[in-house]
Amino acid sequence: MHPLDRRGFLGASLAALAAAPAATAAAERLPVAPPPREVPMPGIDSLFLTYAQDPTRTVVVQWVGYPGVAPTVRHGRLTAFSWDGATPTATRPFGDSPWVVYRAELTGLVPGTEYLFRVDGHPRTYRFRTMPAKATDTFTFVSGGDCGVNAHAVANNILAAKQEPHFALIAGDLGYDNGTSARTALGFLKNYGQHMVDPQGRLIPLVTCLGNHEVKGGYARSRAAATYYFPLFDGLYPETSYAALDFGDYLSLVLLDTGHVSPVGGAQADWLGGALAARQDRPHLIVANHVPAYPSYRAPTGTGVMGLSGTGDGNRRYWCPLFERHNVDVVLEHHDHTFKRTHPLKDGRPDKNGVLYLGDGSWGMLRPPVSPEKRPYLASVGRAYHVSLHRLEGDRRFHVALDESGKVADVTATFGKRPARRG
């Protein structure tokens, strides 16, 4: 990394860490408080934003509540303000609970624009921003996995929000509901809705993919076993448990299922090859999944939970050659509850033209990592609750790991597109 680029990014990041939350007249910030010991009844305080289509022009408003009259969501641009959009909400069952998911997708939005919205019948006005229109517009997002509903997860929510990210990507094991506890799933949403509000009062949209702790039994189960996950996120995953989310023509997130509902090989691998081939020339092509191809705690060899030769064996067999062939820039993976960064890897070995893997899921859960001396594919590891902050500038990507206290644990960067592997 060029030292000036690193210094500038770190300066911006640390300044954001020090920034005090600021309420605005347009959209007040929710107060910071520890998570409740008992999750109260559902309502508008579980409201959060997500995406089902292009985030430059759409956003989805969702919350969990008791069945009732579905209200209208009204929105308008922050400047020259008027309520110029009205979207009815639809409802769907929230798994086997007595509650329902309320959903309204706001469409026809202007890229790179700040909006206000409110839900009819509720006094609060909320604020959000759409994603920028072009790759030349600098933006940030945060990522991680394995959150839970404990105090460490809340602390990292607060830390992440201070970075003013455009969105958060949490790749599996959100609240650890295991497909059996609606209250745990709701507790995650309440923590997220309360704390993932940036210093300008903007809600931070949530992008997710499936982990084992969203599913009854964890692996090789039916879609119905992800009891509370798909009622919240089937806008992006209407039929499969994997998807691609395209941000204009400059960023694609490819979101995968590491064997929880869909096998790693077979139809998912076939889809992945086509999805990556269609997007390999995007300035930024990023993959996210839960179980890592290159674990930092669990063994990559031996008997694995999916009946394969070790943790991530299916990923390495079916997916990693596709990542290398189709110019994937970085893979975000989780599940092991550590901080890790690999070397750029090709065929599992360090190579300057290989793929970078970042992880390993310690937003709210923690384990001791294995040392790089014992796992030569690892470049850096640490035992720390952490979130990753990603800054994308044109065709450049900066990745910073921040531990729970806000300390910078690691920095790396990638530039442009590496030579794609052919054949």
Tokens found for residue 249:
């023509």
Domain co-membership, 274 together with 400: yes
> What is the model's pLDDT at position 357?
98
Rounded to 5°, the CA angle 124-144-148 comes to: 70
> What is the model's pLDDT at position 421?
56
Looking up residue 211, the CATH number of its domain turns out to be 3.60.21.10
Domain assignment of residue 69, given as a range: 3-129
Domain co-membership, 236 together with 99: no
Domain co-membership, 27 together with 115: yes
Looking up residue 91, the CATH number of its domain turns out to be 2.60.40.380
The residues pairing with 398 across neighbouring beta strands, listed in sequence order, are 391, 413
> How confident is the model over 56-90, as pLDDT tens digits?
999 999 999 999 989 999 999 999 788 888 999 99
Mean pLDDT of 191-220: 97
> What is the model's pLDDT at position 11?
47
> How confident is the model over 290-340, as pLDDT tens digits?
999 999 999 998 764 555 578 999 999 999 999 999 999 999 999 999 999
Domain co-membership, 361 together with 320: yes
Given 129, 150, 178, the domain boundary residue is 129
Domain co-membership, 168 together with 250: yes
Domain co-membership, 108 together with 144: no
Domain co-membership, 157 together with 247: yes
> How confident is the model over 17-70, as pLDDT tens digits?
333 333 233 333 333 333 434 444 578 999 999 999 999 999 999 999 999 989
Query: Contacts from 218-224 at CB under 8 Å and sequence distance 24+?
Result: 218/178, 218/260, 218/305, 219/259, 219/260, 219/305, 219/306, 220/259, 220/260, 220/263, 220/306, 221/179, 221/260, 221/261, 222/261, 223/261
Given 129, 155, 187, the domain boundary residue is 129
Mean pLDDT of 94-103: 96
Domain co-membership, 60 together with 171: no
> What is the model's pLDDT at position 420?
55
Task: Decide if pLDDT at 407 tops 60.
Answer: yes
> What is the model's pLDDT at position 245?
98
> Domains in the chain: how many in total?
2
> What is the model's pLDDT at position 30?
31
Mean pLDDT of 368-385: 96
Query: Which residue is listed with tokens 């110019």?
Result: 327
Residue type present at position 76: G
Task: Decide if pLDDT at 392 tops 60.
Answer: yes
Task: Decide if pLDDT at 422 tops 70.
Answer: no
Average pLDDT, the chain: 89
> How confident is the model over 111-160, as pLDDT tens digits?
999 999 999 999 899 999 999 998 777 899 999 999 999 999 999 999 99
Mutual orientation of helices 151-162 and 182-195 as an angle, nearest 10°? 30
Answer yes or no: is 421 within a domain: no
